Chains A and B, each alone.
Chain A
């Protein structure tokens, strides 16, 4: 609601504390995985370069590259994110930061927002954040993480089951995220609000038919797998996350169908320049 009010104020030509300025910057925070070139490999140039067009100074952007195979609080995850955000804020003199996260990147960012005293650098980072635009955040985990981890623990391969998967996958099991949302994270229903806005963009479906133009944005092959994984999920899902998980924390910004001309965003498409998502994010700056 606040966000809508701000948009209306801007539309009326009034000044807003959130009008982009020379000190405005944008950070792209990837999801699960260890990235070394998220600009090319995770987001792809069209997404990043379109979004940063909304900046007064288009050089005020950073694409985060961290190891999000770890637990969200790990020094290689949230610690790395804090290091790169602090460096970006300092070197570019950022006073107004919009953070764009995808998938599990939303959890790592939410860890920082939820635990401002875990690291003495966190409060300074939080103070610069205008809001977080969380693209398909896995805020309540996903049954697919449960299915990935699960096995027959009666057999001697218990070590295999526990050792094979990354801590990030283990962490995103539904029961684990339920625990963390009750105890180590805030911003979900019944819990205190986050210190800064956390606005989710929700993908509601997957289209993978050969004759569906919707299926090809972001890579057709990626959507084939989503079509089968969607079977593990509720009817409203992006193929990896149920809509309820994507909406579990913060506030709903929009669902794909309501803002993308009826198009739906699969989980892989919500990090790519698909169906005008990139221009919505650009205009949000």
Chain B
């Protein structure tokens, strides 16, 4: 049945509907312990901020999500797994025989000259001593690749690098690498793909606000960690020592407070852990490295949120979310709208992003879920705004994140 309405009446109805649907300011839901909430604003590090290339024109976009595809509630911190270690070696050590510890057959070894070392070692000149025997390179290596071959494969190794895999006949344990033509200093990388001794390294959170500390845990599988030393490096190379302390469970933990003066700008911070692992058969070094971000809280959510619920002019859903900015920049809000399905479960409906240039002070960003992004979702109230994130696009740093931001009935 076709229904014909006077366009003016339709407009009036829509205006009335919008007005009647306007609700007083919503409230942000209580923060969870896993949320990232800045407790104070911090000035931008102007020496690292990159505002020059930022777009000043506002932009927004939203799109539908498959309600059947579940989403993680919060970011999952990465755990690094390491079966490798690095050692420095001089020409003398390599000429006389550099002792390397291995815990499994088939170790992959890479020799990289230091930056000021232009020498090149031919794989055929190498020899190895293992199990009381001396092996020529042809017997000791199963495969090898030089600098050009590695680079052609996409591995952008330093000049003069050489990589090879040890043949199984060398077994595991102590292996001496002998390089009679070595000259200058080298970095030796030993990777044991078949080893059961695996060092793990994980930051408790993948983002930390400048001034806060983050807990780092180093563990081991297949052995016991005898010691762990650490280092934290900022994106531009500044480093600070990290002290790991042995825990009752055998893991090593460190509480690290990144130097705030080095925060800001693109790139991630890296935690480096250097351990020694042993079990009944083996005693091998293990090094691991993992990354996390340090954000300067140049802005935060003010806690105010307003919305027009129900029927708006085009059937979309819009939120005005308050932001307190300490520094002018281009800020982004992103969130996922969940709705209730016919079974009564909250499922993802759509995602929206919005960015605008904000001056310092109390301001807001409008986060809009277009009608097209909600059309056909077959979801109903109550809705929830989840995974609300405030990002400074000057360095794409995550400033605030709330797992559950607001409920809309």
Contact = CB atoms under 8 A, between A and B. Distances in A.
A157 B115 CA distance: 8
A169 B57 CA distance: 31
A283 interface: no
Contacts of B70: 190
Interface in B27-60: 53, 55, 57-60
The range of chain B's interface size is 35 or more
Nearest to A116: B61
A103 B154 CA distance: 10
Contacts, number: 196
A239 B72 contact: no
B189 A147 contact: yes
A79 B52 CA distance: 13
Contacts of B219: none
A240 B268 contact: no
Contact of A183 (B58, B106, B266, B293): B293
A175 B202 CA distance: 10
A45 interface: no
A123 to B, nearest CB: 5
Interface in A146-160: 146-148, 150-155, 157-160
B143 A228 contact: yes
Nearest to B356: A117
Interface residues of A, number: 68
Interface in B157-202: 157-158, 163-165, 187, 189, 191, 193
Contacts of B396: 73, 115, 118, 184
Interface string B85-117: 011100000000000000000101010101100
Contact of A225 (B108, B153, B266, B292): B153
B152 to A, nearest CB: 5
Interface stretch (A34-42, A47-55, A88-96, A191-199): A191-199
Contacts of A176: 268, 291
B68 to A, nearest CB: 11
B76 A182 contact: yes
Nearest to A142: B154
A236 to B, nearest CB: 13
Given A190-B72, A228-B145, A158 B239 contact: yes
A117 B115 contact: no
A117 B88 contact: no
A226 interface: yes
Interface string A127-140: 00000000000000
Sorted nearest first, the 9 A-B pairs with minimum C-beta distance are A225-B153, A190-B72, A117-B355, A225-B149, A178-B78, A228-B145, A116-B61, A120-B57, A117-B59
Interface of B: 53, 55, 57-61, 63, 65-66, 69-72, 75-76, 78, 80, 84, 86-88, 106, 108, 110, 112, 114-115, 143-145, 148-158, 163-165, 187, 189, 191, 193, 206-207, 231, 233, 236-237, 239, 266-268, 270, 272, 274, 287, 289-293, 332, 336, 348, 351, 353-355, 393, 396, 398
Interface of A: 32, 71, 73, 75, 79, 103, 115-120, 122-123, 126, 144, 146-148, 150-155, 157-160, 162-167, 169-170, 173-176, 178-179, 182-184, 186, 190-193, 195, 219, 221-229, 231-232, 239-240, 267-268
